[in-house]
Chains A and B, each alone.
Chain A
Amino acid sequence: MSTAIVSHAQRLSRIAAALLGGYVFAWGFIALGVAAAFAAGMPFHDAEHLFSLLAFLLYLVTFLWSFAARDSRRVWLVLAGGGALMAALASLIQHALV
């Protein structure tokens, strides 16, 4: 497909962001979702199922966004940074519960 000024590094960065960044983000989303919902009284397996189900749809959206977004640094920041942040919050909630 014809593209404008595309360097290999840029393309690789997008692919990595879509796959790995998206994975981290989905992971953080599940972790935070399960921990928060369980803390709020939702049965554990319900929380587990609900958030992994939504996480796959989220992964699909972030995957497409990684290629559609204009600024790839922002993609990395949101996906990896946001994912790590959510995962950290999940651990904090867990720490408070266990």
Chain B
Amino acid sequence: MFQNFRLAMAWVHTWFGLFLGFVLMVVFFFGSLSVFDREIDRWAIPESRFEPQPMPSFDEILKPVFEDMQPSRESVDQMRSRVDGPMPEHFDTPVRWGAYTTHRDPVLGLFAGYQVPNAHNPDELVWGTRTIDPRTGESLPDDQLKIGSRFFYPLHYSLNLHWKDLGYWIVGLAALIMLVALVTGVIMHRKLFRELFTFRPNKSNQRSILDLHNLTGVVALPFHFMFAFTGLVIFAGIYFPVTHTQLEPLHDLHEVMESQETGLPHERAGVAAPIASVDAMVAEAQRRWAARDMAGDVGFLALQHVGDANGYVSIYRAGTDRIALTGEGIHFNASTGEVLREDPPPSAVERIDEFLTGLHLQHFRHWLLRWLYVLGGLTGCACIATGFLFFVEKRKRQHAKRGQIGSRVVDALAVTTVTGMLIATLGILIANRLLPVSLPARGTWEQYCFWGIWGLAMVHAFWRTAPVARARLAPAWGEQCWAIAVLAVSAVVLNWITTGDHLLKTLSAGYWPVAGVDLFMLVSALVAVLTARRLQRRARPQPADSGELSGEAAHA
């Protein structure tokens, strides 16, 4: 099909990279923002702007909140079709309670799963969630959207497209293509390396973009590879559900063997039993971790078969001091408080898996490393964006001569996914500050604003890339850079007006979550202004050779 191996690989790199590049852009950018998802949450929910808190007392704070919880209306509605007869008004049999926190969380997220009477599948539960102030147990309003951890974060692995898990599959394919693009890129690069020292007349513009593409791809190559790969590994169960389909019987066989081995009851006993002091169990778990020379805080606490004689409490350690995502779980009988089981030390395979997962999910406490993650992610964005620009630069003159629109369409989509994505991101933050606090389903409206603004940016991108069809620079780039600058400064000012937390205040108080988000937006505004001005200068005098600095826009 192809003349030779290298041409085949170049074809794969160009076309798969182009089509999935638009998805990869979203994945890399929102993945980078997710490194600071909790901090973005603080910015978006002013009531939660206080210091991170440890897991509070279960007996005094958490238990009353759990007892007060009920499944969410959406969860109950979704379940309705899989139940014989009507749904109960009140769900009385909690199967699972859980609380999860990290070293960056001031507020605490709780979840509860309930048995549904007459459900077709008795193992299927309905779920409720709640966010509380762990100092008092007071609940935060349900419809406050955690923009960082509940919108940007899932956007980067599911595109927030949950119909038949379609978003996961698209991102998974994009991740595979990222690996493919890296390998094929290196194969192409062998020749390119030589070409860099050869004569390439009148192509300085195209070449500088290509240089930037190669540089960002190669400099962070191990980072890009690890992230795409570990991302796939984390969701291996979704992409290859082998053990829940073809090998389900084998999996069931293993589960029976496992519950015999662990001693943790798989089913309820059907006998009611009270819950002993969970605080005492937490103290015992911490004592055991300390004895292993791994003193630490509780990261995740869960109760299974709540209120039943077979109930047990699982306590997991927060992994702030290591890369590997380990739990060191210790399990207690819920009614007697006796230790049922300590998770055994991980096997070699588990150790690899925990390391790869932890490398991606970064539960560790290390701020410099966090910033390097952001930098690595943004380098990935720059690599993908310069790939688009190179595609356009290489073809636009030829397309203009032949009257083809290919490069114009690609340029418009590149504008949409580079500057347009930044505009949408700033848009949701501005909507978060402007929508009235009393608006019902406010979080849903914020999401509508995000998609609506992105849609508008796309329309603008297609409208203002018309000159590309005449081999000229698209004004859309510069215009959207100005929009980014205006929106970023507006977001910072709106934060000040609506919450009183201006930069001088947050900086002098050392409240970095909010100060950091504000500063990051101001720096983005500055970069956007510089880019827009250089694009303007470049567009004016030399109509013959335009578009040189569109590569800069990729950095914005």
Contacts and interface: CB of A to CB of B under 8 A. Distances in A.
A76 interface: no
The B contact surface, by secondary structure, is: helix
A6 B3 CA distance: 10
Given A43-B347, A64-B12, A94-B246, 9 more contacts: A10-B1, A26-B240, A30-B240, A34-B242, A35-B247, A44-B250, A53-B353, A60-B183, A94-B247
Interface residues of A, number: 41
Interface residues of B, number: 40
Given A48-B243, A63-B180, A34 B236 contact: no
Nearest to A52: B236
Contact of B250 (A55, A63, A98): A98
B349 interface: yes
Given A3-B1, A34-B242, A52-B233, A60 B180 contact: yes
Contacts of A53: 233, 236, 352-353, 356
Interface string A53-73: 101110110011001100010
Contacts, number: 108
Given A55-B240, A60-B176, A98-B250, A72 B1 contact: yes
Contacts of A2: 3, 7
B250 A97 contact: yes
B349 A49 contact: yes
Nearest to B175: A56
Contacts of A49: 236, 349-350, 352-353
A8 to B, nearest CB: 11
A40 interface: no
Contacts of A46: 347, 349-350
Contacts of B463: none
B351 to A, nearest CB: 10
Nearest to A63: B180
Contacts of A34: 242-243, 247, 250
A46 B352 CA distance: 10
Interface of B: 1-3, 5, 7-12, 14-15, 173, 176, 179-180, 183-184, 229, 232-233, 236-237, 240, 242-243, 246-247, 249-251, 253-254, 258, 347, 349-350, 352-353, 356
The A contact surface, by secondary structure, is: helix
Interface in A20-57: 26-27, 30-31, 34-35, 38, 43-46, 48-50, 52-53, 55-57
Contacts of A26: 240
B55 to A, nearest CB: 27
Contacts of B247: 31, 34-35, 90, 94
Nearest to A37: B349
30 contacts: A1-B7, A3-B7, A14-B1, A27-B240, A34-B242, A34-B243, A35-B247, A44-B258, A48-B243, A49-B236, A49-B350, A49-B352, A49-B353, A50-B349, A52-B233, A52-B236, A56-B176, A56-B179, A56-B232, A56-B233, A56-B236, A64-B12, A67-B8, A68-B8, A68-B9, A72-B1, A91-B246, A94-B247, A98-B250, A98-B253
A27 B242 CA distance: 7
A80 interface: no
